[in-house]
Amino acid sequence: MSRIASVLIPMPLPEAFDYAEPEGMALSAGDHVAVPLGPRLVRGVVVALRASLGGNRPLKPVAERLDDPALPPGTVEFVQWAARYAVDSPGQPLAIALRGARTPKPRPVRVASATGLMPARSTPARARVLEVLAKGPVAPAELARAAGVSSGVVKGLIDEGVLALVQIASEAAFDPPDLSLRGAALNASQSAAAAVLAGDAKAGGYNVALLDGVTGSGKTEVYLEAVAAALAANPDAQVLILLPEIALTQAVIARVSSRFGAQPGEWHSDVAPPARRRVFDAVAAGRCRIVVGARSALFLPFRKLTLIVVDEEHDTSYKQEEGFIYQARDLAVARARIEKAGVILASATPSLETLRNAEQGRYRWLKLTARHGGAVLPDIDLLDLRETPPEPGQWLSPPLRLAMAETWARGEQSLLFLNRRGYAPLVLCKACGERMTAPDTDSWLVEHRYSGRLVCHLTGFSMPKPTACPHCGTRDSLVSIGPGVERVEEEARELFPEARVAVFSSDTIFDAREARRMVESMAAGEIDILVATQAAAKGHNFPRLTLVGVVDADLGLRGGDLRAAERTYQLLAQATGRAGRRDLPGRALLQTYAPEHAVMQALKAQDRDAFVAAEMAEREMAGLPPFGRLAAVIASGPDGAQLEAFMRKMAEVAPNAPGVEVYGPADAPLGLIRGRRRKRFLVRADRTVDLSAYMAAWRARVRPPGAIRVAIDIDPYSFL
């Protein structure tokens, strides 16, 4: 009996399309196929097959089964689940899952292989060549090097027919992890946590654990022991280690390689397409057992995913804000449930959602309360800028300058932390007051002194800094307002002209390997003062760093973000935690205009529990996460009147449901981006409400005009 194949296409289409299975093709769920869509053939994945019972219209047949490894059942189920949860078309997460498969395969390589014939004349050199080949085919040049002979010896054996040149597919050589290697020496607290996690890994099945340890407590060493246990329990087991920042991947890859004697697969946006393809194929074939990557690695086609580690689980970088909108930490837990795998969420400052799950007993809670070895947490002091302000035109207060001078005199390192890229966040005209913004966008242009350009960090637009105001034409009237890391670096160089000063931000570090070189230089003591954004505030260990100065501790508290206090506490706790990681005592100074704020007081007292309790109480009273659920609807269009009419219609058809409150529509704080007007709804729901189902039902009640785009964000992190 003929069958119908439901094929999911990696495009924003509402559902899988049906195609006829040609006779003899013998498709299976997960197969990559080429199918007709309009006038062209497109790639798709078979997600279901059923018997054909006849119908009123013939179906187009599947054109071809593609020579790519099939997506495993767990990956197919996860892609479809993620789409339903995010209230988006299933083709969107599928496009992420197929990112590796859509990259062209590496070209075949030419290797020498033994034919079985013996050479007419035997020599020691020829014997060595055949000895090397006994282990398998080798490229001719590599064969000559391995045997210690000239290329002429290899060519002679080829000419005689003793060796033959054959083309084979180029595959990444992911050596299996050496599980006989011992890990780092652990203290009693680490050993206890590692034993529990290793026991969970050996037992297998779905489970979630929170590894909650202060900065410098050795969480990485602990979860690597769990990785070792998972790999030892099953020879086919695969492990995924998720990281929030590309800058962290090289350091973690080095530690994984050292622990297991083998290089893990690397997956993030900086990985070159051929390497990405090799990792994709190796993961699908089960040849790559450990992957270290950014959030999109969660969609790789693992054959036997046994353990997922989400390092720095609290980090907002796990939230994807464009295209397919998702929170990788939450989807990691969902994928683990589907795959019947374990999850380790590791952080020194866990998110309130994760802490709530741990308090409720949904997650196992393991605590590391002391730093590894003899290191202790740094002392934290607040510098009230109302009492000790910087000099006019400067950004470092006298107490911070004095502390830097003392640190420099002792031959130790300082870190100046400011989570703001560029030289100045705002450029305005002192003659007419015009603020420089990106074209057709409400976002301010940030001055970058290194490149002499004004840049929009939202849209990517950039332009040379003009010599005259574009609005009033006054020359030399544009002034820089506020500090960015480049401006703080300029001040540090003026204060300490003999010091080695460097900037660590995404504008100065362009890929993971550059980040690794910067981190290694800092760790080796080759930098005296490091001026950095959040790229340097997490996961790094700098032995001689004893002073952290936070230039603007209040920065993250501005605005109406419900997570502002939580994020500020997390970021500053992570940044100050870089100090005093070894035997040298550390100190952190936070410049603030609001030292009385609860976040600042909690940081000074290093009392996370008091801060969390107060923040939890406020959230519970308001029914906000983790005690409630949020969703956002963001609509945009080129015509403001048309957008307003559409949003009013959406408001009229919003479903009435108990435990759900709809706020809006309202203009988005960034009301214009790339020429498109923006409006928002915010939805609050009780925990008992299936918010994804509610949003899907609402979306189905109204069809936006062609010019209007609608995005739904479940559990939003940005309110712009």
Q: Which residues, other chains included, contact 281 with Cβ-Cβ below 8 Å and sequence gap of 6+?
A: 69, 100, 105, 171, 172
Query: Is the predicted pLDDT of residue 397 greater than 90, yes or no?
Result: yes
Provide the token pair at 489: 């670096």
Angle between helices 352-359 and 608-622 (to 10 degrees): 90
- In the numeric block, the tokens 């309360």 are attached to 369
What's the whole-number mean pLDDT along residues 279-299?
95
Half-sphere exposure of 202 (CA within 13 A, CB side): 9
**Which residues have C-beta within 8 Å of that of residue 48, sequence separation ≥ 6?**
5, 6, 16, 29
Mean pLDDT to the nearest integer, 661-687: 93
Q: By three-state DSSP, how is residue 659 classified?
A: coil
Handedness of CA 322, 328, 329, 330 (dihedral sign): positive
Q: Say what the pLDDT of residue 10 is.
A: 95
Q: How confident is the model at residue 624 (pLDDT cuts 50, 70, 90)?
A: very high
Distance between CA atoms of 284 and 697, rounded to whole angstroms?
A: 36
For residue 279 the two structure tokens come to 């990792």
Cα separation, 627 vs 114, in Å, equals 67
CA 234 to chain centre: 28
| 3-class DSSP state of 507 | coil
* Non-local CB neighbours of 366 within 8 Å, separated by 6+ positions: 193, 196, 197, 209, 210, 211, 212
How far is it, in rounded angstroms, from Cα 333 to Cα 324?
Answer: 18
User: CA-CA distance, 147 to 153, in Å (whole number)?
Assistant: 10
| pLDDT confidence tier of residue 374, bands split at 50, 70 and 90 | low
Q: Residue 233 pLDDT > 80, yes or no?
A: yes
Q: How far is CA 320 from CA 86, 329, 331, 410, 677, in A?
A: 11, 11, 11, 43, 22
* DSSP helix/strand/coil, 90: coil
- The phi and psi torsions of 282 (rounded to 5 degrees) equal -70, -40
Average pLDDT, the chain: 91
Contact 449, 442 (CB under 8 A): no
Taking the CA atoms of 354, 355, 357 and 363 in sequence, report the sign of the dihedral they define: positive
Please say if the pLDDT value at position 599 is more than 80.
yes
Q: Are 29 and 49 in contact (CB under 8 A)?
A: yes
Of 474-478, 647-651, 679-683, the one with minimum mean pLDDT is 474-478
User: What end-to-end distance do the CA atoms of the chain give, in Å?
Assistant: 54
Could you tell me which residue, 523 or 168, shows the higher pLDDT?
Answer: 523
pLDDT of amino acid 197: 97
Q: Please name every residue paired with 548 in a beta bridge, in sequence order, or none if there are none.
A: 415, 588
pTM: 0.88
Peptide bond into 704 cis (omega under 30): no
CA 364 to centroid of chain Cα atoms = 24
630 has a pLDDT exceeding 90: yes
pLDDT of 682 reads: 96
Residue 23 carries which side chain, given as an amino acid letter? E
Q: Which of 172, 111, 163 is nearest to 137 (CA)?
A: 111
Q: Coil, helix or strand for 88?
A: coil
Rounded Cα gap, residues 284 and 300, in angstroms: 8
How far is the C-alpha of 32 from the C-alpha of 404, rounded, in Å?
Answer: 59
- Note the pLDDT tens digit of each residue in 83-110: 999 999 999 999 999 998 887 776 777 7
Cα 391 to chain centroid, rounded? 39
State the pLDDT at residue 375: 65
pLDDT at 556: 85
Q: 313: helix, coil or strand?
A: coil
CB count within 10 Å of CB 426 equals 16
Q: What is the per-residue pLDDT for 609?
A: 92
Helix (H, G, I), strand (E, B) or coil at 133: helix
Q: Is the pLDDT of residue 1 over 60?
A: no
pLDDT at site 170: 61
> Could you give the CA distance from residue 212 to residue 70 in angstroms, rounded to a whole number?
37
Q: What is the CB-side half-sphere exposure of residue 528 using CA atoms within 13 A?
A: 18
> Is the separation of the CB atoms in 252 and 316 below 8 Å?
no
446 three-state secondary structure: strand
Q: Which residues pair with 479 in a beta bridge?
A: 428
User: What percent of the chain is modeled with pLDDT above 90?
Assistant: 68
Question: Hey, what are 551's tokens?
Answer: 């230039």
Greatest mean pLDDT among 47-56, 141-150, 685-694 lies in: 685-694
Q: Report yes or no: 33 and 44 within 8 Å, Cβ to Cβ.
A: yes
pLDDT tens profile 181-208: 998 889 999 999 999 999 999 999 999 9
Which of 105, 458, 99, 102 shows the shortest CA–CA distance to 296?
Answer: 99
The total of other beta-carbon atoms located within 10 Å of residue 222's CB is 28
Q: Using the predicted structure, report yes or no on whether residue 536 has a pLDDT greater than 80.
A: no
Q: If 0-12 CB within 10 Å is exposed, 13-18 middle and 19+ buried, where does residue 561 land?
A: middle
| Mean pLDDT, rounded, for 21-49 | 94
